[in-house]
Amino acid sequence: MNTIRIMTTGHSGECQECGRIDHGGPLALVRERRSGPAARVLETYVGECCQPRLVAEYRERDERGEVRFLDLRETGPDLR
- Sequential DSSP letters for 9-68: -S--EE-TTT--EE-SS--EEEEEEE-STT-EEEEEEE-TTTHHHHHHHHHHHHHTTSEE
Is 14 within a domain? Answer: yes
Is 77 within a domain? Answer: no
Is 51 within a domain? Answer: yes
Is 45 within a domain? Answer: yes
Is 76 within a domain? Answer: no
| Residue 79 exposed, middle or buried by CB count within 10 Å (0-12, 13-18, 19+) | exposed
For residue 77, the surrounding DSSP H or E stretch is: none
Query: Which domain does 35 fall in, by range?
Result: 2-71
How many degrees, rounded to 5, is the angle at CA 27 between CA 21 and CA 28? 140
Is 78 within a domain? Answer: no
pLDDT of residue 28: 94
Residues 16-70 have pLDDT tens digits of: 999 998 667 789 999 999 998 989 999 999 998 999 999 999 999 999 999 999 9
Residues 44-53 have pLDDT tens digits of: 999 989 999 9
pLDDT of residue 11: 82
Please tell me the total count of domains within the chain. 1
